[in-house]
Amino acid sequence: MFEDKTPPRANDPIASEKIQVDRKIFFLDLKENQRGRFLKITEDVSGRRDTIMLPASGFQDFLNALSRILEADQRLQP
């Protein structure tokens, strides 16, 4: 069995998810630097990328706000 002995690079994500919605691809990367952990969210549309960074200290607030948005959307469903 092959064992990779290469040390992880500083820019490698701790965890990653990829979501495709229509012609958009979203990348969610949990990363860490000298200031702490953060979530890097990248939207790719036909090669054009936009990115936001969310510090770990804001994860719960972000999740709570997203939950409220989802609840509002479900109330509007026929």
* Position 30 in a domain: yes
* Position 72 in a domain: yes
Range of the domain at 43: 15-76
Cβ density class 48-65: b for 16+ within 10 Å, e for less: eeeeeeeeeeeeeeeeee
pLDDT of residue 11: 77
pLDDT of residue 14: 93
* Position 44 in a domain: yes
* Position 57 in a domain: yes
Q: In sequence order, what are the residues at sequence separation of 6 or more whose Cβ sits closer than 8 angstroms to the Cβ of residue 30?
A: 13, 14, 15, 16, 37, 38, 39, 40
- E-strand ranges in 1-78 read 15-21, 24-33, 36-45, 48-55
* Number of domain units in the chain: 1
Residue, of 66 and 4, whose pLDDT is higher: 66
Average pLDDT, the chain: 90
* Position 38 in a domain: yes
* Position 10 in a domain: no
Question: For 4, which DSSP code?
Answer: -
pTM of the predicted model as reported, rounded to 2 decimal places: 0.80
User: Which CATH number belongs to the domain containing residue 24 in this structure?
Assistant: 3.10.450.700
